[in-house]
């Protein structure tokens, strides 16, 4: 039962927090653009550039991209798009952090509001939530070298991050319009997000399979042109290389869409029914290994008074992830003051997870679907309007995790809407929710043992009667003798657990 000095490396959580902030943007029309008659849809997305940790502070930088669909103030009521990019730097207090530590973060746009200052200027505000973990891959130092020390060890599951990298990934895919959709004349706007579907080890690293979910708004080639939308789920794959070979299955990958371009091309019939989709993704990846730590949780020096120096640490375990998919069906009502509906052009749904709780048998994500419905008004095929609706949702997953470690993010795989009558829309949304758990666990281990009083020469033979929760270790420590000495005097208990009332003989030295 001796313990040598150990220097073990493991990932630990230094700090975890969530903060909500408001980020601003502003759009002004160019000289050749028609005035804004009305805004029909507003979205915002965040492209993180990275995070820097300094002493007790964390700074996250990135770009906030606003996209505004609006109807122009001219005879044809054309739909046009405006984009604004706003760089941001957000600082957070992270007590205990130090320069060089690593971060994991989830950034979620919770709400977007626009204010039409005048027909040529729009101000924008996005409510953004930052969920941040500061991590450190550090030594767990223990100085308990005395060979006479009695040390009780406990096994803990942990992870050690071996490598990290950020890689730009270029994706080129071709999408085909549905059979009934009209051909494309001009692409007005597009956005996309990327989802990791599978991570597999290869000889040299990691192969990542994912899905790019693309939304595109366009005009057809009719006269006058009509406004349409289409969405596509495009699979992709790419490889990551690591210096550590043979461990590629233990990779964690987070994707962000850095750039997107959608271009119409002709099919074999000469019609513009194909779309070339070019996307640049930023892949933030880490390679880790699972380890089993034998940590000393108790210690003493037989025949001596000792003082333990302990240390608390929040160890990381392999992150657990579970995805759920469900089709939601609901109806929304046209707000007052809008002209009656003739046809829905498109509906875009953006799910926002407001909270995640750990129930008795499942994880529960509570959120809201922020829906933008764009429609043609009755009596005029070119009168296009848009309105917003907020639909609450709940999603459960059989997923065991403490509430403090739970995270969830959601996205829509498909969304469609049909007019029921002039004021009601029937909506269908295929929702996917990803639950994740960092699984950190707090533990306390013995960092060092200090001898503060030597033994005297007096000795005595004693008998201890086992009580509830007693074992040989607790009795040996209580009477300050070695576990080997207790076993030598009581060999019948070497392979037999103690029961209440069992008698244990001890030869103890008296400590002043």
> What are the tens digits of pLDDT across the range 369-413?
999 999 989 887 668 889 999 999 999 998 877 777 788 899 999
Label residues 5-44 b or e (16+ Cβ within 10 Å = b).
Answer: ebeeebbbbbbbeeeeeebebebebeeeebebbebbbbbb
Among 98, 118, 137, identify where a domain stops. 137
Residues 253 and 367 in one domain: no
So what's the pLDDT on residue 266? 94
Domain-embedded: residue 231: yes
Q: Is 0.75 topped by the overall pTM?
A: yes
Per-residue pLDDT of 293-330, as tens digits, reads 889 999 888 888 888 899 898 888 888 889 999 999 99
In a domain, 481, yes or no: yes
CA distances from 403 to 318, 398, 436 (A): 17, 14, 11
Question: Considering the domain boundaries, does residue 162 fall inside one?
Answer: yes
pLDDT at 512: 44
Q: How confident is the model at residue 92, as a pLDDT? A: 92
Single residue among 269, 294, 318 that ends a domain in this structure: 318
pLDDT of residue 461: 74
Note whether residue 446 is domain-resident. Answer: no
Measure the CA–CA gap between 58 and 244, rounded to whole angstroms: 29
How many domains is the chain partitioned into structurally? 4
Kindly state whether residue 458 falls inside one of the protein's structural domains.
yes
The tokens describing 386, both together, are 């848009």
In a domain, residue 444? The reply is: no
469: CATH: 3.10.350.10
92 with 221, same domain: the answer is: no
Residue among 165, 164, 167, 237 nearest 202 (CA):
237
For residues 154 and 287, state if they share a domain: yes
Q: Does residue 268 sit in the same domain as residue 335?
A: no
Low-confidence stretches of the chain (pLDDT < 50) are 1-5, 511-512
pLDDT at 7: 54
Residue whose token pair is 């043992």? 449
Instruction: Give the range of the structural domain holding residue 29, as residue numbers without chain letter.
Output: 7-137
- Asked whether the beta carbons of 236 and 210 are under 8 A apart, the reply is yes
Rounded to the nearest angstrom, the gap between the alpha carbon of residue 386 and the centroid of all alpha carbons in its chain is 32
Whole-angstrom Cα distance, residue 26 to residue 28? 7
pLDDT at residue 429 in the model: 95
Give dist(CA 466, CA 506) in Å, integer: 12
Inside any domain, residue 1: no
Q: Are residues 207 and 223 in the same domain?
A: yes
Which of 504, 316, 509, 350 is CA-nearest to residue 429?
350
Report pLDDT for 90: 93
How high is the pLDDT of residue 5? 45
**How far, in Å, CA of 245 to CA of 52, rounded?**
28
Helix extents (H) in 438-478: 472-478
Domain edge (last residue) among 137, 171, 197: 137
Tell whether 220 and 263 lie within a shared domain: yes
Chain length of the chain = 512
Residues 107 and 147 in one domain: no
Cβ–Cβ under 8 Å, residues 104 and 11: no
* Backbone phi, psi, residue 186, to 5°: -140, 130
One domain for residues 210 and 302:
yes
């Amino acid at each position: 039962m001796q313990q040598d000095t150990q220097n073990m490396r493991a990932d630990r959580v230094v700090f975890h927090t969530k903060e909500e902030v408001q980020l601003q943007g502003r759009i002004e029309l160019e000289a050749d653009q028609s005035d804004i008659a009305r805004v029909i849809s507003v979205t915002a997305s965040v492209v993180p550039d990275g995070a820097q940790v300094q002493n007790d502070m964390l700074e996250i930088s990135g770009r906030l991209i606003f996209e505004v669909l609006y109807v122009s103030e001219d005879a044809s009521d054309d739909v046009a798009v405006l984009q604004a990019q706003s760089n941001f730097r957000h600082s957070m207090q992270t007590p205990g952090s130090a320069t060089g530590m690593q971060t994991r973060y989830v950034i979620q746009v919770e709400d977007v509001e626009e204010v039409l200052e005048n027909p040529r200027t729009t101000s924008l505000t996005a409510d953004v939530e930052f969920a941040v973990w500061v991590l450190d891959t550090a030594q767990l130092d223990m100085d308990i070298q005395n060979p006479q020390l009695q040390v009780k060890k406990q096994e803990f599951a942990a992870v050690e991050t071996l490598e990290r990298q950020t890689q730009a990934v270029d994706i080129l895919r071709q999408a085909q319009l549905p059979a009934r959709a009209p051909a494309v004349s001009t692409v007005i706007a597009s956005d996309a997000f990327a989802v990791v579907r599978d991570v597999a080890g290869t000889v040299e690293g990691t192969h990542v399979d994912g899905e790019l979910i693309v939304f595109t708004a366009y005009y057809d080639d009719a006269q006058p042109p009509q406004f349409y939308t289409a969405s596509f789920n495009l699979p992709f794959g790419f490889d990551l290389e690591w210096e550590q070979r043979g461990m590629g299955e233990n990779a964690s990958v987070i994707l962000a869409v850095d750039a997107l371009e959608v271009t119409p091309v002709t099919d074999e019939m000469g019609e513009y029914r194909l779309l070339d989709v070019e996307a640049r993704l930023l892949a933030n990846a880490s390679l880790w290994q699972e380890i089993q730590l034998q940590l000393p949780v108790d210690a003493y020096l037989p025949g001596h008074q000792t003082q333990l120096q302990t240390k608390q640490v929040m160890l990381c375990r392999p992150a657990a992830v579970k995805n759920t998919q469900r089709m939601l069906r609901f109806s929304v009502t046209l707000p007052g003051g809008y002209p009656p509906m003739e046809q829905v052009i498109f509906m875009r749904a953006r799910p926002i997870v407001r909270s995640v709780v750990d129930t008795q048998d499942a994880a529960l994500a509570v959120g809201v679907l922020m829906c933008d419905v764009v429609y043609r008004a009755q009596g005029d095929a070119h009168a296009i309007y848009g309105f917003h609706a907020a639909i609450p949702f709940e999603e459960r997953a059989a997923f065991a995790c403490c509430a403090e470690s739970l995270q969830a993010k959601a996205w829509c795989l498909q969304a469609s809407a049909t007019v029921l009558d002039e004021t009601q829309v029937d909506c269908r949304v295929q929702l996917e929710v990803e639950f994740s758990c960092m699984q950190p666990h707090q533990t306390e281990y013995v960092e060092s043992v200090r001898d503060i009083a030597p033994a005297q020469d007096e000795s005595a033979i004693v008998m201890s009667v086992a009580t509830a929760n007693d074992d040989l270790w607790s009795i040996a420590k209580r009477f300050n003798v070695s576990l080997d000495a207790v076993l030598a005097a009581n060999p019948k208990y070497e392979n037999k657990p103690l029961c209440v009332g069992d008698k244990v003989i001890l030869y103890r030295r008296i400590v002043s």
